[in-house]
Amino acid sequence: MDDRTFNFSHKEIYLIGFTDLQEYRRYLFLPFFVIFAFTLSANSIIMLVIVKESKLHAPMYILIWFAAALGFIQPICLLPRMLISFLFGRNMIYREECLVQMFCLHMSGCFQSTVLVGMAVDRLFAIIFPLQYHDYVNLKSSLIFCLSLFFRNLLFAVSLVSLVGPLYFCKSNVIYHCVCEHTSVVNLACGDVSKNYVAGISGFALACSDCIFVVFSYIVIFVIIARSPSGESRQKAIYTCSTHLMVLVVAMTCVVIAFVGYRVPTISKDLRVLGTLSYLLLPNCLNPVIYGIRTKEIRVQVVKYLYSKKVASY
């Protein structure tokens, strides 16, 4: 390719997802704003309840707090600019801002699977070593475990964005998407982007490895539960683990929909964008509902908190 092709690189990128809807595109503001408001409020209530109630300062509830924190942060990185685009048609985003958004989205995406891994490990030790649980799951071991996964996720997200940063975007500066998703941005670049595609596939493989570990852990857990005598503790273990599995199913279903959507040419562009947005938004929206309804300790405290707020308003 002629070197003159690389004499310029677009500094501005236009995200034009759902523009095929034409004048109906602006009406997308309402459903996404409702999702945004509900996600922030639901996750903030979960976080507040866990922080305020000392009974919930256990490893499992702390992991739920982290899941709620991710559900609070990720929509803030994603939705405000998208809502402005829907309502006012302002689709331009600066290249540096696009890279920052990409980092935040992929970093928080990695932590979603990390939290699921943490929950699986917590339940695994609770079921296999019930008497030694607090010996294994203590502050020191939890910090080592969390920090190791944190640096793993940080290394991946930094590597992913670092490979995109030096690219020359000379093909086009228009992406039919609503967010700076890695593959869509890389497709704008000139030159060799094989490393970028490998990095993207590595991210999917990372999420899949976490998923496989979580599924294997819960298989072991359910085998042990099935062999144990029936009783209240057995029913509670099944109930708790099934709650975590519901969260896992929601997350991985959205990931598969997004991944497959970009690899099946017959799927329309709008459905591909919707698939990616479902992967980014639905887990954050549904997780606090699942935990709030199915985790008794959290449900009781949430009802108490909402009731106290209602009484205070009168």
| Cross-strand partners of 92 | 14
Fold of 3-313: Rhopdopsin 7-helix transmembrane proteins (1.20.1070)
Q: Rounded distance, CA 144 to CA 157, Å?
A: 20
232-270 pLDDT, tens digit each:
666 777 777 777 777 777 777 777 777 776 677 777 888
Task: Note the pTM of the prediction, 2 decimals.
Answer: 0.82
Please state the rounded mean pLDDT for residues 76-86: 91
pLDDT per residue as tens digits for the range 258-304: 777 667 777 788 888 888 888 888 888 888 888 877 787 888 888 88
**Those residues with Cβ within 8 angstroms of residue 59's Cβ, 6 or more apart along the chain or in another chain:** 122, 137, 142
Cα separation, 310 vs 314, in Å, equals 7
13 alpha-carbon distance from chain centroid: 24
Domain edges within the chain: 3-313
Euclidean distance between CA atoms 242 and 67, whole angstroms: 17
Distance CA 228, CA 158 (A): 45
